Amino acid sequence: MSKKQIKNDVERQLEGDFPAELGPALSALGDTLTKQWWEENGVYLSKAERTSRNSPIASVGDMNIKIDTGYGKTFVLSQYDPSKPSVVIPVGMTDKVTTATRPNDWIVGFLLACIQEMAQDDYRTVGNIMDAVNRHIDVATEIVDDKKKIVQSKLPSVKNSNAISGFISSLKRTFVSRCRGYSQLNLKMDLVDTNTSISKPLDLNEVVVPIVVKEATFPTTPVVIEPLIDFNEVVVPRIDPVVPDAVIHDESNVLISRMVLENQIIASVSEESTVGMIRKSMAEFGVDEAVWRPRFDAMVKSGIVGTNGLDRRAKRYIVESKEVKA
C-alpha cells in the first residue's frame, strides 16, 4: 500500500472536514511504535550478511487493526492481497553510505574572497562575477504550480566543465551509517462507523462456548454438616420471675407486690390450664393460694384470664392484655 493509495482512500472515504489532530497524533504514535520495536527487535547486517540471510525480520500475514477516532468513525487496516503478507520488515543495514551536507555558503564565500585577493581587493571584479551568476539564475527560474524553482537544464555550461566537475566532486564527503529496513506494506484502509463491524470469514469455533469439565474434588478432612434448624431456637423458654419473698409479703409495697403476683399468674397460666395446674405452678413460686387466688379471680373478672367453664376442670387461658381492676 503506497502513500498515493492511502491518499486516494482518504480522499474517497473522508468527506468534509475531519479532526485536525488525527494526522499528527497517529503519525507520532506510528513513529514511536516503530522506533521502540526496532530498538527491541532490530537486526542490522552488512551487504554480504543480508545476501546470506535472505529473509526479513518479521513477516505478518492476515491482520486487522482498528483505530477508533472518537468521532463516530473507525479506521480499519487489513490485508489487501490475500496471497501476500500484510507487512514485511526487512533487516537493517550497517553499511549505508550517506553523503554529508556540503557547506555551500562557506565554499562560495571562500572562492569570492580568493577572487578578491587575486584582483588586488578590486570589489568591482567580484561584483561583475556575481552579477553574471545572478543573471543566469534569474533566466533559469520558473514558477510551476505557484512554486518558484530553478531549472538546472536552463543554466549555461561552463568552460572546462570536466576539470571543474572534478574539483567540485572533491568537495563531497561521505560516511557509513546504520539504518532500519524499509517496511513493505500490503494493506487496505476502510473507514466505518464505530459500531459497524467489518465482515470476515465465519469461524464456527468462535461462536461455540467450550464446555469446561470440572474434576470432582473430595475434602481430605471430615466435613461437619450443621443442621439447618436449631430446635432450641424455636422453643420459647419459660421464664420464671424471681421475686424476693420480702416483695410479696411486704404490706408496705402493695403496688409492686400486685405487679409481681400478676406476672407469676400469667407465667403459670399456660395454654388451656386448669386451676389445679395453676395451683401447682404457683406453689413452685412459693406463693400460698390465699395470696394469689384473690388476684387471680380479679384477673378473671377483668378479662385478662379467660375461662371456658365454671367448674374446676374448666380451662383457663390468657386473653389479650387489659388493665386489671382491683
Helix axes 289-302, 275-284, angle to 10 degrees: 130
Same domain, 65 and 200: yes
Provide DSSP, 258-295.
HHHHHHHHHHH--TTB-HHHHHHHHHHTT--HHHHHHH
Specify if 217 maps to a domain. no
**Secondary structure E strands in the chain:** 44-45, 58-60, 64-68, 73-79, 87-89, 92-99, 141-144, 147-150, 174-179, 184-185, 187-193, 305-307, 316-318
For the stretch 148-163, pLDDT in tens is 999 989 999 888 888 8
* In-domain check, residue 234: no
Q: Look-up: residue for cell 552579477?
A: 131
Residues 79 and 128 in one domain: no
Domain that holds residue 21: 3-99+180-205
What is the pLDDT at residue 123? 82
Distance, in Å, from the CA atom of 97 to the CA atom of 92, rounded to the nearest integer, reads: 13
Grid cell for residue 253: 409495697
Which H/E stretch holds residue 36? helix 22-41
CATH number of the domain to which 313 belongs: 1.10.10
State the Cα–Cα distance between residues 248 and 258, nearest whole angstrom: 8
Say if residue 93 is in the same domain as residue 184.
yes
160 shares a domain with 29: no
- How many degrees, rounded to 5, is the angle at CA 182 between CA 177 and CA 186? 180
Mind listing the pLDDT tens digit for each residue in 7-56?
777 778 776 667 788 889 888 998 999 999 999 998 999 999 998 988 99
Domain end among 149, 172, 195: 172
Same domain, 301 and 184: no
pLDDT for residue 32? 94
Per the document, the length of the chain is 326
Same domain? For 53 and 138 the reply is: no
Q: 249-269: per-residue pLDDT in tens?
A: 444 455 557 778 888 888 877
Domain count within the chain:
3
Minimum mean pLDDT range among 46-60, 82-96, 127-141, 297-311: 297-311
Hey, what amino acid is at 56?
A: P
